[in-house]
Amino acid sequence: MGVRQPVEYQSPGQRKSFEEETLRRWKEKGYAVPEILTSPFPELSALPHLSTTFLEGSTLRECLTTSRLSLEYKNNLLSSLFKEIARRHDQAFMENDRWLFHIDANTRNIICTDSDRICHVDFEMGRHWESTIACAAREILKLLSTAAGDMKPPERTILYQAFQGAYPHEEVNRFIRKSVYGRPLQGIHRWRNKRKKEKNPRAVTVYDILDQIPLRVTLP
C-alpha cells in the first residue's frame, strides 16, 4: 500500500498511457519519435496496445555489431547520439522535466533511420519521483552498458571517447560513480562482478565502464 511503482510494473493500460504522453511531449519539444496512429486493429480494442508510424532504418545495436560499417561511421554516429542526449538533458535540467529522459535507452530502442535521424522508441519505463539527475544517470548507464556489450572489445574505445567528447554533464558522471561505488557491501558487488566476467570474458560491467570514463579535472 502506498509503494511507488515503476512504470514497467504497472498495468498494460497505465503503461500505454505513459508511453503516449511521453511520445506527445517529446514531439512537442521537437525530438525525434514515431507518430502515434489510430489502431488499425479494431478487433484488439479491448486490449491496451499502441500503434505508431513505421521507422525505416536500423537499430543502434545493428549498427554497432555489423562489420559493414567503418569505425569512423560508428564514431560519428555515437557522437551525434550523445550530442542529442546532451541537448535534451540540458532542457530537462533547465525545466525540471522528467518526461525528457529515455530510461530504457538500450541499443534496440534507438533507431538510426534511413533519413539520418536518430529516433527513440519504447517508453514503458520510468520513475517520476526520482530527481532529474537520477533519471539522466539511468539513461546514460543503460546506453553505455548495452552499447559496450554490443561492440567488439577493441572498438569500445570509440564509445567511451564519443561519450567523453559529446556529453558535458559531469554531475551525471559523478552521480553514477557514487551510485556504484557508494553502494553498501562493495565486496559482494565486486565478487559478483568478477564471477560475471569469469563466466563471460566479453561481459561489460558497470565497473568496467567507470574505469574507462574518468572524471574530468576541474581547475580552480
For residue range 103-140, list pLDDT tens digits in order. Answer: 999 999 999 988 788 999 999 898 888 999 999 999 99
- 3-state class (DSSP) for residue 119: strand
- Beta 51-52 vs 57-59: how paired, if at all? unpaired
pLDDT of 116 reads 81
CA dist., res. 38 & res. 158, Å (int): 41
Residue labelled with grid coordinates 535521424: 117
Question: 22: domain range?
Answer: 7-212
Kindly state whether residue 22 falls inside one of the protein's structural domains.
yes
Alpha helices in the chain (DSSP H): 12-28, 60-65, 71-95, 132-150, 156-166, 170-181, 186-199, 206-212
Kindly state whether residue 153 falls inside one of the protein's structural domains.
yes
Residue 96 Ramachandran class (φ > 0 left, ψ -120 to 50 alpha, else beta):
left
pLDDT of 218 reads 54
CATH number at residue 145: 1.10.510.10
| 39-63 pLDDT tens trace | 777 776 777 777 888 888 999 999 9
pLDDT of 40 reads 72
- 3-state class (DSSP) for residue 120: strand
pTM: 0.90
Kindly state whether residue 114 falls inside one of the protein's structural domains.
yes
pLDDT of 201 reads 83
How many domains, the chain? 1
Kindly state whether residue 1 falls inside one of the protein's structural domains.
no
Kindly state whether residue 40 falls inside one of the protein's structural domains.
yes
Residues of the chain with pLDDT under 50: 1, 219-220
Kindly state whether residue 218 falls inside one of the protein's structural domains.
no
Kindly state whether residue 220 falls inside one of the protein's structural domains.
no
